[in-house]
Structure 1
Amino acid sequence: MNRHVRVALATLGVAAVAAIPQAHPAAAQTGDPIAGAVEDFATTSGYPGVAVVVTDDDGTTHHTDYGVDADGSAISPTTPMPIASASKTITAAAVMQLVAAGSVDLDSPVYDYLPDFRIHDPRGAEITVRHLLEQTSGITDLTLREKSLAQPATLAEAEQRARDAELATDPGEKYAYTNTNFHLAARLVEVVTGEPFGDHLRRNIFEPAGMDRTTTIDVTPEDLPSDVAEGHVYAYGMTPSTAEPHRFVNGSDGVITTPEDLATWLLVQQNDGVAPNGTRVLPAGTVAQVQTPRKGADYALGWEVDRTEDGKEVGHNGIWFTYTADILLTSSGHGIVVIGNSGLGLGNEGTGELATRVAAIADGETTDPMPPIRLWTDLVLAALTLLSLGLGLRRLVRTRVWIDRFGDRRWWELTARLVPRLVPTLLLLALPSLVGQVVGGGRDISLLQLVYYSPALMIWAGLAAAANLATIVARILGLRRRRGVALAESARPDKRPSRVGAS
């Protein structure tokens, strides 16, 4: 291995040891195991700020806040933050209010309520409102790439874009998670009620429940309220702040709230639709309906369901590229709210693990500290990046050696030696599909959004591609130069021998 590469890797190893999160005894000394778990998660997983609320079905709440936001303000129960896809539970509730009022039938076709929504596949007429809420419409991220396509600005435009959707399966046949289903569900609320979706949520859910600091937006980052700080991404143990990439989020993942307000939303669920202020927000029985999946399914109507030995846990995760959130209702009667100001990435599956750990602590169980998987993942990628850089520089320096060795080969032999250098570029271009399939379970993601997901992965992939392309260019130019010189030499007239000893 090149000496400079070895030195760089050795330096990286020293940095790795220094960067490993150390134990934080302060939280443990407070005697609060939840505070200790929050601090352990935040420092190990790279979250500058985390808010946790535990609710009990008697209406009491317990807050644990850690760290700061991107502006340096301390995280508190009233810090406004996005909850990403946990918003789907609220969209489903808005639809169910209309169902209870007799304005919508869950098992009627969506076409009945969205007369302008038509897709080319004739099976589209069979998509019902229920199919949207349980993610079984047949629309998937692969049949309508909602993140990498041009982004709409309104729910009406989202509906129009969805007309180009194809169906992967018959409606009702198979679960496939996609934000498009909830864009359409929110648009349905707009059309049926005749008012903007955000206004409808404010009048019918947020204000009655006492969620006074909660709203919903159309597009990130343009529509974010001014008091919402930027979130963070993670790279090599660092957490730089950055704005969320441009995306349409209303209906699917556009709710902006506070830990305190989100805890209120869980209390509404824990009390069969009645808010802590005594107002009935959801009709009796609605909570059980939206949290009961069809037989054999794990997704109900806007809620994820996990069956346990003691019954079931329901909740929903939320993933932005710069924030993550989780809500969880345990079989023992606890509600768990977790919101963190860093995005999903390699070695970090979001705040779900912390929510599960807090739930266990609330039930009196002990939990183990988290290993620093996120850091080690990025350090491995950093080592690969340095190795790719070192090998790439070595190839460029040795271009003349390669040309002297292979320059006289036939064109097809040279092509066979150069074409494999295109593999890193092809891999870079294929990364969105690979990550979407392997990590995201079929979700759509763009190349730019992958930079948010894992800067370390993209830096390695991009540098490896650039280094190999530079190798190809340098070798082709060297071959052309060599053959040009050879051609010029062959075109010169032979020198005549000198007349030695002529008189």
Structure 2
Amino acid sequence: MKRFYMVITACITACLLAVIPLVAEDAGAPFKKVQDIIEHEAADKGLPMLSIVLVDENGIVWSGGVGADAKNPSLQADNDTTYRIGSVSKLFTDIAVMHYVEKGLLDLDVPVTTYLPDFKPHNPYGTPITLRMLMSHSSGLVRETPVGSYFDPEAPSLAETVQSLNGTTLVYAPKTKVQYSNAGIAVVGRVLEKVAGKPFAEVLETNLLQPLGMKDSAFVPSAHVRKSLPEAYMINYQGTRSIAPTFELGIAPAGCMYATMGDLALFMKALIDKGQGVNGRFIEEDTLDQMWSPQGDVKSARDRSFGIGFMLSELDGEKSVSHGGAIYGFATQMKVLPNKKIGVAISTNMDMANGIVNRIADYALRALMAQKEGKPLPVYTYTKPVSDDMVAKVAGLYKNQDESIRIYRLFKDLYIERVNDLSLRLRATDNHAIVIDDMVAYSEDIRFTDASVTVFGKDYAAAEDVKPAPVKPEWVQYLGEYGWDHNVLYISERDGKLHALIEWATDYPLTDLGNGTFKFPPHGLYPNEEITFKKNSEDKVYTASLNGISFERREVGGIDGHVFKIDPVKPIAELRKEALAASPPHEDGTFKQSDLVDVTAYSDNIKLDIRYASNDNFLGTPVYSSARAFMQRPAAEALGRAAKRLKKQGYGLLIHDAYRPWYVTKIFWDATPMSGKDFVADPSQGSRHNRGSAVDLTLYDLKTGEPIKMVGLYDEMSERSFPYYPGGTSLQRWHRNVLKTAMEAEDFTVYEYEWWHFDFDDWRSYAVQNAIFENIKPAH
């Protein structure tokens, strides 16, 4: 619902990928191939569950599935699994409206105020908004309603939701631009509610879902619907997975429907039969033809046009009528080729996975067409990780005038990051080509040549990654996080512009209009919409308002310049006594002889700031007996080489921690509340610090001796500590990358939750140690 494509990978345990037997009579080659594909893609993209169904004029041709619910393994992905289908809901809302048009109770082309006299958003253009404009996304309304929006967990009534639009201004003249609007379909649903004299969900249930035989679908989830609804998942910019929220939306007509693939099969069969459902005709053929006809000459992004409700496009020259959907934790695609009399519906319980479900849906339709026409099955390109040699060759910064892209490694995969777009995973094919292949999209429209790359038809030349200029001082006050845990708005600075990373993955440069107001670019999710930062009585920014949607400022980590601290679960003195009395875990295996050495001996630009030997740490009290830093000799030698590399760039290494006795790890674990456990090691496993092969560090300026300011603070237990956290300034992220690059060149790997923590590659070769610093005597 919120977008038709999103990105970034996740890791789901293999036990969730149990294959569901085919339920169709025809288990021929096309369908085995599709089943093979969904198994492969579920494993590759980390999709916990996925269900798919293919139909023709005779009904279900084939259905398949993969995966099971993590909480309830008996709930496996098949035709009876319930999914939230997001914006596919809009088709049902619009068809319900067309029923009333057929009865003469609604007119698509009169001002919508005919039915909603109190609907009064500011319209400076004069042209009145009509139902036809709303249903074809050409009304000029903002994307989201100020109340009851996609972000709003309060679930206000539809009346309250639509009423809130009176405080907004149209972002373009009606009927001059196609721009997707959830708010517009909320208004359509409210018109339906008013004319029918019943709640929206009830109108849809009695007038459409029941006549179509869709007994397992609803706009308000009953116990019957929920029993087959799996837990769903969100995924953020660096692949961290969390459980998706389950609240209902105020904009229910735009995307709050629950359905099974079996029910969507009934709907698609009725579309193929030109309005004839299992219980009789549900819409006239002429009405359906009108809905499948372009409503104006203006097309949307990606050269798609809208009919009434339906997205209109082509698949291999065949007319396609479709809609996609994305709502917290779910991604869906439904597509019908009316002239071929076939259709497909597919859903998964992973957010931002619309790219891969679209790709599978298109392949399934092609395979079905091939079978019906007696042709060979189409080729499906499988991919694999890009080789380390190729990563080293292509990673870097590329530019086309003032537009830049960056190709970089994120843990085990290669990504491309473009301004105004998502970060997209790059993969290799068997013929050694590099393609875009992740949850958001698949494209072969990328080509590397010597010192250049062509992406989507635009050429970019390799460029030097020069040190960025500092952020404008007046913008510093706006930087940070806003909104809710389930949907964070990140405001950062990039390439000399303030940026908004919204709905988890799409990043937009903002134009400064002055007085704390910025404008989105004329494309994307929020074209030309404005965001205003508001201050409180203390002259501090406390909220960001996107056309009336208030994103409250979030308190993230510590305050810059101060040490991040927690409230320990128990007194540290008590925890220290317990830890010193405990013993490290027993380890089987053969380990190298420990050879801990002082790291400061390996380069003159390595200096110490051992926080755990002072009060300046997250516990607020010393836990070390002295301020020393030791590492296993090979790791210390590698650290020295990294320091010498950085010295040429004007930087030194400031060491916060290196070897850590095991008893200190136990203190950290026992002192930290559950919310911060990701940032401390489990003493039952022992940490890499305990083995003498990990180091916590940052950069300092050789000229001033001052530490370099990074995005987040050392030991901060927040997402700002993540090595790919997107916030902050260009200069802060550049410095973070300088450190990471230097360390990785010497066989260190950054820890996934802490930009400052690096593990030497042979850490597994050493056993857990528990010696205090004063007892360490380096070998000679």
TM-score normalised by L of structure 2:
0.46
Distance 1:284 1:266 in 2: 14
Q: 1:332 — aligned with what? A: 340
Mark the CA change 1:460 to 1:183 in structure 2 (over 3 Å): closer, same or farther. Answer: farther
Instruction: Decide which of 186, 189, 203 is 2:189's aligned counterpart.
Output: 186
Q: 1:242 — aligned with what? A: 244
Instruction: Decide which of 354, 364, 383 is 1:358's aligned counterpart.
Output: 364
TM-superposed CA distance for 1:151, in Å, is 5.5
Which residues in structure 2 correspond to 1:251-400 (within 5 Å)?
Answer: 251-275=253-277, 277-296=278-297, 297=299, 298-308=305-315, 310-330=317-337, 331-344=339-352, 349-364=355-370, 365-371=377-383, 380-382=409-411
TM-superposed CA distance for 1:242, in Å, is 3.2
Instruction: Decide which of 431, 437, 442 is 2:525's aligned counterpart.
Output: 442
Q: 2:141 — aligned with what? A: 139
Q: Any idea what the Cα deviations from partners look like across 1:186-225, whole Å, max 9, x if unmatched?
A: 111000010011111111111111001110039xx99984
Q: 1:63 — aligned with what? A: 63
Distance 2:475 2:312 in 1: 47
Distance 1:318 1:229 in 2: 17
After TM superposition, the structure 1 stretch with the greater mean CA deviation from structure 2, 277-286 or 179-188, is 277-286
Distance 1:456 1:78 in 2: 38
After TM superposition, the structure 1 stretch with the greater mean CA deviation from structure 2, 424-433 or 98-107, is 424-433
Q: Any idea what the Cα deviations from partners look like across 1:218-246, whole Å, max 9, x if unmatched?
A: 9xx99984642221134667755433467
Distance 1:229 1:379 in 2: 34
SS of structure 1 residue aligned to 2:306: coil
Distance 1:85 1:417 in 2: 39
SS of structure 2 residue aligned to 1:285: helix
Which residues in structure 2 correspond to 1:8-23 (within 5 Å)?
Answer: none
Kindly indicate whether the alpha-carbon contact (under 8 Å) linking 1:42 and 1:48 is maintained by their aligned counterparts in 2: yes
Kindly indicate whether the alpha-carbon contact (under 8 Å) linking 1:319 and 1:350 is maintained by their aligned counterparts in 2: no
Kindly indicate whether the alpha-carbon contact (under 8 Å) linking 1:77 and 1:259 is maintained by their aligned counterparts in 2: yes
Mark the CA change 1:82 to 1:149 in structure 2 (over 3 Å): closer, same or farther. Answer: closer
Distance 1:33 1:359 in 2: 12
Distance 1:325 1:316 in 2: 9
Instruction: Decide which of 213, 216, 219 is 1:213's aligned counterpart.
Output: 216
Q: 1:53 — aligned with what? A: 53
Q: Any idea what the Cα deviations from partners look like across 1:309-331, whole Å, max 9, x if unmatched?
A: 63411100101131000000124
Q: 2:81 — aligned with what? A: 79
Distance 2:501 2:366 in 1: 35
Instruction: Decide which of 104, 112, 115 is 1:110's aligned counterpart.
Output: 112
Q: 2:499 — aligned with what? A: 430
Q: Which has the higher strand share?
A: 2
Structure 2 alignment gaps of length 5 or more:
1-8, 300-304, 371-376, 392-405, 414-468, 481-490, 510-520, 527-545, 553-717, 736-780
Q: 2:444 — aligned with what? A: none
SS of structure 1 residue aligned to 2:276: coil
TM-superposed CA distance for 1:141, in Å, is 2.5
Kindly indicate whether the alpha-carbon contact (under 8 Å) linking 2:81 and 2:261 is maintained by their aligned counterparts in 1: yes
TM-superposed CA distance for 1:459, in Å, is 4.0
Tell me which amino acid in the other structure corresponds to 1:113.
Y
Distance 2:164 2:108 in 1: 23
Structure 1 alignment gaps of length 5 or more:
1-15, 385-414, 449-454, 472-503
TM-superposed CA distance for 1:424, in Å, is 7.8
Matched, 1:33 2:33: yes
Mark the CA change 1:370 to 1:161 in structure 2 (over 3 Å): closer, same or farther. Answer: farther
TM-superposed CA distance for 1:269, in Å, is 0.7
Distance 2:407 2:195 in 1: 48
TM-superposed CA distance for 1:77, in Å, is 0.9
TM-superposed CA distance for 1:43, in Å, is 1.6
Structure 1 vs Structure 2 CA RMSD: 4.5
TM-score normalised by L of structure 1:
0.70
SS of structure 2 residue aligned to 1:136: coil
Distance 1:319 1:142 in 2: 15
- Structure number with the bigger relative contact order (C-alpha 8 A, sep ≥ 6) is 1
Distance 1:328 1:155 in 2: 28
Kindly indicate whether the alpha-carbon contact (under 8 Å) linking 1:432 and 1:447 is maintained by their aligned counterparts in 2: no
Aligned length, in residue pairs? 412
Mark the CA change 1:208 to 1:245 in structure 2 (over 3 Å): closer, same or farther. Answer: closer
Distance 2:201 2:126 in 1: 27
Which residues in structure 2 correspond to 1:433-472 (within 5 Å)?
Answer: 435=506, 437=508, 441-443=524-526, 459-460=722-723, 462=725, 465=728
After TM superposition, the structure 1 stretch with the greater mean CA deviation from structure 2, 156-165 or 48-57, is 156-165
TM-superposed CA distance for 1:70, in Å, is 3.6
Mark the CA change 1:245 to 1:349 in structure 2 (over 3 Å): closer, same or farther. Answer: farther
Distance 1:224 1:20 in 2: 26
Distance 2:41 2:501 in 1: 28
SS of structure 2 residue aligned to 1:121: coil
After TM superposition, the structure 1 stretch with the greater mean CA deviation from structure 2, 121-130 or 187-196, is 121-130
Mark the CA change 1:436 to 1:420 in structure 2 (over 3 Å): closer, same or farther. Answer: closer
Distance 2:188 2:143 in 1: 16
Tell me which amino acid in the other structure corresponds to 1:432.
L
SS of structure 2 residue aligned to 1:442: coil
SS of structure 2 residue aligned to 1:213: coil
TM-superposed CA distance for 1:380, in Å, is 3.1
Kindly indicate whether the alpha-carbon contact (under 8 Å) linking 1:230 and 1:241 is maintained by their aligned counterparts in 2: yes
TM-superposed CA distance for 1:63, in Å, is 1.0
Q: Which has the higher helix share?
A: 1
Mark the CA change 1:261 to 1:446 in structure 2 (over 3 Å): closer, same or farther. Answer: farther
